[in-house]
């Protein structure tokens, strides 16, 4: 059993929280509006879930999943994430987030921006390429890897990536490594051929050969 903080109560955050609970982990979930706004969600999630502040979710989790609009990444309290393994499930959408110069010019990736802000954390890009419907409904823990849908991971810390890959495996998906936060982050961003394109692990690994 792992304590997992989830920051962001939208479709990806809440669906991920539900999955983590289903496989036996404990979840503390937070959003920008405060714990009182999460009463209905936490009630629907059931035992093992609690609503907390952002700082409390970061403190609670051995692993902390961040699924917030990218424009809000620099409002995260960096000191609360010191030493944490952070799953970056964010995506950059200029129409929602406003244009971010470094991303428009492709001099960096959204994951590298988050990692720079959370300098004391180990950041792994994951849970950002799949729509919430298959994420919630199409995990197959009993299926062999080659029959599972792929969830992509990117990062600069191999141990951290391995731990996120193990969590993905528990949920019934196949972790497929896209590389570093720089290279892999670009492969996973919106507009990439592997983004929001459900495919099995062998199909995903073949698709990466062309990127």
Angstrom distance (rounded) from CA 5 to CA 56: 8
> Across the strands, what pairs with 28?
5, 50
Contacts of 58 (CB under 8 A, 6+ apart): 5, 7, 64, 77, 80, 81, 84
Quote the pLDDT of residue 195: 97
Nearest CA to 16 out of 1, 31, 27 is that of 27
Select from 3.40.50.720, 3.30.2320.50, 2.40.40.20, 3.90.1150.10 the CATH code of 3-208.
3.40.50.720
Task: Provide the 3-class DSSP secondary structure of residue 153.
Answer: strand
DSSP for residue 10: S
Which regions of the chain does DSSP assign to beta strands (E)?
3-7, 26-30, 49-51, 63-66, 85-88, 122-125, 150-155, 174-179
Question: Exposure of 44 by Cβ count < 10 A (0-12 exposed, 13-18 middle, 19+ buried)?
Answer: exposed
Question: Dihedral sign, CA of 154, 160, 164, 166?
Answer: positive
Quote the pLDDT of residue 1: 87
Going from the first residue of the chain to its last (211 residues), give the mean pLDDT of each consecutive group of 10, the final group possibly shorter: 96 97 97 95 95 97 97 95 97 95 95 96 98 96 97 98 98 98 96 96 94 78
């Amino acid at each position: 059993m792992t304590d997992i903080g989830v920051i962001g109560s939208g479709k990806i955050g809440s669906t991920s929280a539900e999955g983590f609970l289903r496989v036996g982990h404990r979840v503390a979930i937070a959003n920008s509006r405060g714990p009182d706004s999460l009463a209905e969600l936490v009630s629907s999630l059931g035992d093992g879930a609690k609503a907390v502040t952002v700082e409390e979710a970061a403190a609670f989790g051995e692993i902390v999943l961040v699924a917030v609009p990218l424009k809000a990444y620099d409002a995260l309290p960096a000191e609360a994430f010191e030493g944490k393994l952070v799953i970056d499930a964010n995506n950059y959408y200029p129409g929602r987030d406003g244009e971010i110069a470094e991303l428009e010019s492709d001099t960096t990736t959204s994951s590298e921006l988050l990692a720079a802000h959370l300098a004391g954390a180990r950041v792994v890009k994951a849970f950002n390429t799949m729509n919430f419907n298959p994420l919630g409904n199409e995990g197959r823990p009993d299926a062999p890897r080659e029959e599972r849908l792929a969830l992509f991971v990117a990062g600069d810390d191999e141990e951290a990536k391995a731990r996120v890959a193990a969590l993905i495996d528990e949920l019934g998906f196949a972790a497929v490594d896209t590389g570093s936060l720089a290279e892999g982050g670009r492969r996973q961003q919106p507009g990439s051929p592997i983004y929001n394109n459900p495919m099995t692990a062998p199909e995903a690994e073949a698709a990466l050969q062309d990127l």
